[in-house]
Amino acid sequence: MALERVDSLIEARWIAPVEPAEVIYEEHAVALKDGRIVALLPRDQARQRFAADNHVELGDHLLIPGLVNAHTHAAMSLMRGLADDLPLMPWLTEHVWPVEGALLSADFVRDGTELAVAEMLRGGITSCQDMYFFPDVTASVFERMGMRAVVGLVVIEFPSAWAGTIDEYFEKGTRVHDSWRGHPLISTSLAPHAPYTVSDDSFTRLRTLADQFDIRIQCHVHETAQEIVDSKKQYNERPLARLKRLGVLSEALTAVHMTQLTEVEIEQCAHAGVSIVHCPESNLKLASGFCPVRSLLDAGVNVGIGTDGCASNNDLDLLGETRTAAFMAKGVSADAASLNVHQALRMATLGSAKTMGLEDSIGSIEPGKWADLTAVSLSALELQPVYNPVSHLIYAAGRQHVSDVWVGGKRRVQQGRLVDVDESALIATAQRWAVRARGAQTAAAAGRQS
């Protein structure tokens, strides 16, 4: 009997498919064809069933679904380390916004996004949900570099280099959505920046557009205690209550950060079907608070993990972020069993995919899904011995152990090196932008002092 032809057959010592939950397969293989997963089965059976154009034997590797970064600002990789050790609002108003005012352009977004995509792919991230200006440029970079992305259509009440009025934000966002509709790698979401920068009227328009376009809304919500105080002064209600009043608190909403939650609000999120993105390292660095992950999961709320942007993290390392999330959940709940390694991996893959509305397409190694895969080598001295490969992934390994990455069946990282990407050129470009950013920051500081 003739063997079934496939594009690739990837064999690994261990495979953690995420679905079924908490399962680890040994000596299995994944067959890929036309960018999708055809089968997951024991290695011997795979060799008897398939003939592959590309046969990959990974050895002492753990193969997992590609990591999904549920929240980032890719272009802000060019602001990495620009302003550290500050709370959110001084960080934003005295450093980030002035530098953006001086440098924000299509070129800035293109170069920053290229740097971010390279970093994410090398770290095993195959898809992300982005929020930044010039989403048309961002989408083009993700497509060209072969990384899956949900690109946020930013809405904010003040002018920027991308749009001068609120109507222009909506008009340009609509055009970007229409131009990428149905693309296999790129999709869109509505991206109001935060309740404190978006009006009631704009939120109402966004809710209507979410229904019309059948896409999600991603928004920073309840990020700091001060946000709650300010909202109660301005609107006489907490931000989440305001979003509920405006019809935004729904299954279409992905709320990012959510460090300030009451038990009632957790139940409201569960009832409404809201997804939440946990960004632990950004929240720790900005001293914003702690997302109550265990309480959210217990209430049935879907939770994903995001790195946030490099300006506040300062990296796009989702493996490191997931380890921090696991540790933080234990500390916040005072329960060492609060978030086990399988649950943490699920949050960084299938949970994050659900925050983007892509859980039926990515996030687990299942037949029919896109072949977004990450291989992590567990052969290094510092990873010996291996009792539980998923435990090692979360608690011992790092992104430096990522060896190979596939997006839609196409290899984007091979033996730790990016495929068809000039890394030295990216570094040189980033260094040129750093000179300009430092100058803009110095000018902003002089202006505050005068």
Sorted by where each begins, the domain ranges of the chain are: 4-65+369-417, 67-355
- Residue 79 scores a pLDDT above 90: yes
The per-residue pLDDT for 227 is 97
Q: Is 196 exposed, middle or buried (0-12, 13-18, 19+ CB in 10 A)?
A: middle
Task: Determine contact, residues 82/441, Cβ cutoff 8 Å.
Answer: yes
The pLDDT of residue 442 is above 90: no
d(CA 30, CA 50) in angstroms, rounded, equals 10
The predicted pLDDT at position 423 comes to 96
Q: Please, are residues 9 and 46 in contact by the beta-carbon 8 Å criterion?
A: yes
Q: What is the mean pLDDT of residues 216-236?
A: 97
4-65+369-417 CATH fold? Urease, subunit C; domain 1 (2.30.40)
User: Per-residue pLDDT for 448 more than 80?
Assistant: no
Give the pTM: 0.97
pLDDT averaged over every residue in the chain: 96
pLDDT category of residue 267 using cuts at 50, 70 and 90: very high
- Residue 335 pLDDT grade (very low, low, confident, very high; cuts 50, 70, 90): very high
CA distances from 446 to 80, 97, 259, 290, 423 (A): 21, 15, 34, 35, 35
User: What does the angle CA 117 – CA 362 – CA 357 come to, to the nearest 5 degrees?
Assistant: 90
The CATH architecture to which 67-355 belongs is Alpha-Beta Barrel (3.20)
- pLDDT of 332 strictly over 80: yes
